[in-house]
Structure 1
């Protein structure tokens, strides 16, 4: 097989990144924008020793699950992976992702047999981060194309709230009229890097965060705020974030509130939640409530028991699972998240303790002071938990650990370690938090095999 060869291929599988997989003379061929069941003429674009990459040259026989993508930039933008086939097929593929990781990586004896789908597959996100770039001498914003930092101009993304399109449009009109330069990653020059929007699903409150390279943006954008907020009255907070570093990180450390409040509020599982710009908050609020409901069933917290929320963010999981008479403690590494968590507990009439610390250090601290929670909830970032954290979790938890993960491969690894440490997975399910993308979450219950 050589570059530029054209071969006929049947797509029989799907990778975690959303590429279709077929085989030609025993060699795996990865092809984006395909569906299981497609028969295609495939042009080979890159050849490695044991696999290669191709692109669709012609669809000979389309898969029965193929459908209209419903987006003009789907083939260019890197935001979605599965717009070209039905949601039913997407759920089947995602459940297979989780099952495969649990079986292959974790060697786990129990595999999930259900996936909780999202009621909404459009306009479900409560947050968007739009990169801004200069193209042909003009500032544009949208989303990055696949595997690149080239911006595909796009305001009306089907995954975002419809109100975001109007806000972005007015901001970019202002940027164009004032000749405000977008940030250039190669030269490090320019003022506006990202436009970050967050919206309360149930309160409709909107926070606008302009990520800029200099405090001089306060003057550059001062003519924008009044007109924008008069048109979009749900905007309750406008914040400048200063990020002058040559980095892939979207946000810098300094925030300056230039209009309205420092935070916005939302309602999650009946609790009022305060959100800062840097605080973690699930992007699909209705689906997060279903996820938390399942986590609550697994946790089965009773009066008088202790619940540890180890990666607590703004406290949403622990607060949603809290029952009268139990004790809630939590930890997170982001200071603003802990500030929000404390306020969220107070404004919901819940007596809870939250500390700001890395998960491993927090777990060690809680263990050394004698905490023995009945249930530990862990919802780590994609990299999962480190070994030290898992060991302290296993030492502390008296009854159950509920693992929530946005990366099924690291979840499989971590659960395998917890099995070594005396816990057995007794229930699990996949949850689709991010329809039309390749990401899928899972929730797992681990029960202690014997009392310490």
Structure 2
């Protein structure tokens, strides 16, 4: 016999407290202390006092929501984007750039246990050369939503502007919305990607049903009138180039062609500084053998090859390996070779590793490179530069090198994504 239970709804009264904020965490949350407990409050800045409603109360920390701000920090600034606070893209537009960089640098120094020696930064606005906008047709209103996801939700924020996008891409938003809204197949659109390559903008349109000839013609006319390359993606693994040239960008003066699906650094200005600084830190000499792990299509590998005797790039994605080799040939670099390997396996056993390496650079994804660190130690390079998009995994992986006798010589905070909670960095390790 089945039994059914009706749980009584628990009614709670949310506590209201007054706090003084002392810090800003890397994610743009104000940090305060209350009754010996750390409280995180989005929207507050250091030196600000506020009445806060607790939304989560754990044994070691709590989270709160601002009920009333009692004063303003001198470092508070008016958000430039009208969607700030709703859109999940930016978390720190209410803080000036100096405070953002200071809070991220402090958090990085605390994690890595080393002072930040440099901050690599560029323009804080109009820096983002890539964006993916979700599309959703609303039958009730007969309107197409185009934008980014809400903070902590799957709903779409229907954006009219985005000041962190490079101006050329931001200017495309209104006419692109109008064009897509008028398509017969508007109900079968998934998302649209915009990328600004150095030879012009491109657009990738994901659609889940075949486009009519009329829709296709309209999209082609749009691409010609706005001088952008146009790609269709009828399935996630299929990409059809309809108009325009193959996109490319410059890295250290070298031309790197790429597919719209390939990873490229979103912030071109900081990327150029990052490549230059990494090369300087490695102190690449004409006789050096250099290894670039997680090399992608050669963002670091090819500039390194301009200066070293030989360079090996290793990557886990086969398509990027092919693209890297193609870019080496296009730039007449004959001292660099790319290999497709599973970087969790011992790469020191590969034939290309038998002569060792003088310098190593690695640029892993957010998960870091825990399986690779012992292999790097075995290769015993004089210098290692680790480029990281996750300070927590960088701190973990650094322990292996420090235990093996390497020392941190330089630490940089890379302000790759101003106004967001993303914290990127770069470390130079050197043998004792």
Structure 2: distance between partners of 1:218 and 1:380: 42
Aligned to 1:429: 412
Aligned to 1:278: 261
SS at match of 1:254: coil
Aligned to 1:229: 223
Per-residue deviation, 1:204: 4.2
Answering whether residue 105 of structure 2 is matched by residue 122 of structure 1, we say: no
Match of 2:189 among 177, 187, 192: 192
Structure 1: distance between partners of 2:206 and 2:346: 31
* Unmatched 5+ stretches in structure 1: 104-110, 183-190, 244-251
Answering whether residue 176 of structure 2 is matched by residue 171 of structure 1, we say: yes
Given that residues 278 and 337 in structure 1 are in contact (C-alpha distance below 8 angstroms), is that contact kept between their aligned partners in structure 2? no
The within-5 A match list for 1:414-425 is: 414-425=397-408
Given that residues 399 and 447 in structure 1 are in contact (C-alpha distance below 8 angstroms), is that contact kept between their aligned partners in structure 2? yes
Per-residue deviation, 1:371: 3.9
Match of 1:239 among 231, 246, 250: 231
Given that residues 205 and 266 in structure 1 are in contact (C-alpha distance below 8 angstroms), is that contact kept between their aligned partners in structure 2? no
Aligned to 1:154: 159
Question: How many residue pairs get matched?
Answer: 418
Match of 1:213 among 205, 208, 211: 208
Answering whether residue 354 of structure 2 is matched by residue 370 of structure 1, we say: yes
TM-score by length of structure 1 reads 0.87
The within-5 A match list for 1:1-16 is: 3-16=13-26
SS at match of 1:67: coil
Cα distance change of structure 1 residues 177 and 370 upon mapping to structure 2, 3 Å threshold: same
Match of 1:23 among 18, 29, 33: 33
Cα distance change of structure 1 residues 325 and 67 upon mapping to structure 2, 3 Å threshold: closer
The within-5 A match list for 1:298-447 is: 298-324=281-307, 326-351=309-334, 352-361=336-345, 363-366=347-350, 369-387=353-371, 389-447=372-430
TM-score by length of structure 2 reads 0.90
Cα distance change of structure 1 residues 94 and 346 upon mapping to structure 2, 3 Å threshold: same
Cα distance change of structure 1 residues 219 and 328 upon mapping to structure 2, 3 Å threshold: farther
Cα distance change of structure 1 residues 117 and 82 upon mapping to structure 2, 3 Å threshold: farther
Per-residue deviation, 1:122: 0.7
SS at match of 2:217: coil
SS at match of 1:93: helix
* Unmatched 5+ stretches in structure 2: 1-11
SS at match of 2:272: helix
Structure 2: distance between partners of 1:324 and 1:87: 35
Per-residue CA distance 1:9-50 (angstroms, 9 max, x = gap): 111123332211212222322211111111111122233343
Per-residue deviation, 1:220: 7.4
Cα distance change of structure 1 residues 33 and 445 upon mapping to structure 2, 3 Å threshold: same
Cα distance change of structure 1 residues 224 and 161 upon mapping to structure 2, 3 Å threshold: farther
Given that residues 135 and 190 in structure 2 are in contact (C-alpha distance below 8 angstroms), is that contact kept between their aligned partners in structure 1? yes
